[in-house]
Amino acid sequence: MRKKGKTIRPMALKGNTVSFGFAVPALALYTVLLIVPIIIAFGFSFTSWNGIATTTPKFIGFDNYAAMFQDERLGNAIGVTVTITVVVVVCVNVFGLLLAMLLNHAGKMTNVSRSVFFAPYVLSTVAISFIWLSILSYTGILNSIFEALGWEGLIKNYLGTQQEAIASICVVEIWRTLGFHMVIYLAALQTVPADLYEACTVDGGGRWHKFRYVTLPLITPGITISLLMSIINELRMYDIVKVLTDGGPGYATETITYNIVTQAFGNNMLGYSSAIAVFLFAVIATVAIIQIKVTTKKEVEY
């Protein structure tokens, strides 16, 4: 049959089907400027290249990866990133859900509040980081307020020590992304049919029961998405650190991304920085794959 078909088939549908040509421009650009560089980065990660064009990259096998285990500065960066990720992810999701639940019943205020909460997410991270820098630094607004109130004891540089700086970064990031997650939860809550709550009331359930047995199970897909997105986002943290602390004091608040950039363009350790980037890629890809798995499963359910 196949042979027979081939002789007759060719042109009939050529005029009707979408040709591969449609995908070529996007495919070319995407491949050349994203996929190829990623492959090159993998290659670099096995070399000790310093980025000077006249030298050729020297292959050193897994030495870069081995070196990562000895690298205290990287260890610190991983610790900082994990701390920021955990704190921000927990806060943003817990408060995001709480706020969404309140907002769902706030009547006329809903729209205004949503717009205000979402606003920081729209502005550039550079802009909001500078706003917060002006609030948190030693000569900043927070300290001016404390001074005016006479709370001298509270006056200090809120970016001065590692702990305080990380806390400050978390506050800024929570403030920036809270509205985004709140909106996701708001959308998830609105998919819960109202009559389920009524059914729960009829069955004798109180507020807690409604939350535990109706809301929570039905917004699980929303929770999953929100959690995974915030994890991926925080693992990539860079901008706020760059503006707020520039990694300091010392390198105390460096995140993984910050560390990669510094190693690459500050210290010219292109090979080594690529190895760290590959490591970060592996971590984020894992989370992303989980996200894809979860979301495609959700699609099937509907």
Partner 1 sequence: MAGLELKHIDKIYPNTETKKKKRKKGEPAAVEPAQKELKAVSDFNLEIKDKEFLVLVGPSGCGKSTTLRMIAGLEDITAGELYIDGQLVNNVASKDRDIAMVFQSYALYPHMTVFENMAFALKLRKVPKDEIKTRVLEAAKILELEEYLGRKPKALSGGQRQRVALGRAIVRQPKVFLMDEPLSNLDAKLRVAMRTEIAKLHKRLATTFIYVTHDQTEAMTMGDRIVVMKDGVIQQVGDPNELYQQPANRFVAEFIGSPQMNVFPAAIERTANETFALIGGKKITVNAERAAKIDLPEGKSEVFIGIRPEDLYVEEENLVKYPDSQIDANIEVREPLGSDIYLYMTVPGVDKTVTARVLPTYDGKMDETVKLALDTERMHVFDCGSGASLIRG
Partner 2 sequence: MSSNEKRLRKRISGFSITTKVIMLIATVVVAIPLYIAVVNAFKTNDAITSAPLAPPLQPTLENLEYVLTNPNVNIGEMYFNSAMIAGFGTVGCILLSAMAAYYLARSRRKSSKNLYMYFLFGLMVPYVIVYVPLVTIFKYMGLMGNLPTLIFVFISGSISFSVFMFYGFIKTVPKELEEAAAIDGASPLRIFWTIIFPLLKPCTTTVAIFIGLSMWNDFMTPLIIGNVKTITVGIYTAIGPYSSDWGTVFAFVLCGSVPIIVAYLLAQKQFISGLTAGALKG
Question: Is residue 169 near partner 2 by the rule CB under 8 A?
Answer: no
Q: Which stretch binds partner 2 (CB under 8 A): 66-74, 78-86, 161-169, 266-274?
A: 266-274
Question: Is residue 251 near partner 2 by the rule CB under 8 A?
Answer: no
CB of 14 or CB of 108, closer to partner 1: 14
268 neighbors 57 (Cβ within 8 angstroms): no
Q: Give min distance, CB of 289 to partner 1, in A.
A: 24
Helix (H) / strand (E) element for 263: namely none
Q: Which of 8, 18, 33, 282 binds partner 1 (CB under 8 A)?
A: 8
What is the DSSP secondary-structure string of 51-88? S-TTSPPPB-TTHHHHHHHH-HHHHHHHHHHHHHHHHH
Separation between Cα atoms, residue 186 and residue 117, nearest integer Å: 12
Tokens coding 61: 């096998």
239 neighbors 129 (Cβ within 8 angstroms): yes
CB of 8 or CB of 149, closer to partner 1: 8
Separation between Cα atoms, residue 80 and residue 166, nearest integer Å: 7
Separation between Cα atoms, residue 112 and residue 108, nearest integer Å: 8
Q: Which stretch binds partner 1 (CB under 8 A): 3-11, 206-214, 220-228, 284-292?
A: 3-11
CB of 1 or CB of 18, closer to partner 1: 1
Interface of this chain with partner 2, residues 29 to 58, rule: CB under 8 A: 29-30, 32-38, 40-41, 44, 51, 53
Question: Is residue 300 near partner 1 by the rule CB under 8 A?
Answer: no
Q: Which does 23 bind (CB under 5 to 8 A by kind): partner 2, partner 1, none?
A: partner 2
Burial of 108 (0-12, 13-18, 19+ CB in 10 A): exposed
- Which residues of the shown chain bind partner 1 in the complex (CB under 8 A)? 1, 4-5, 8-16
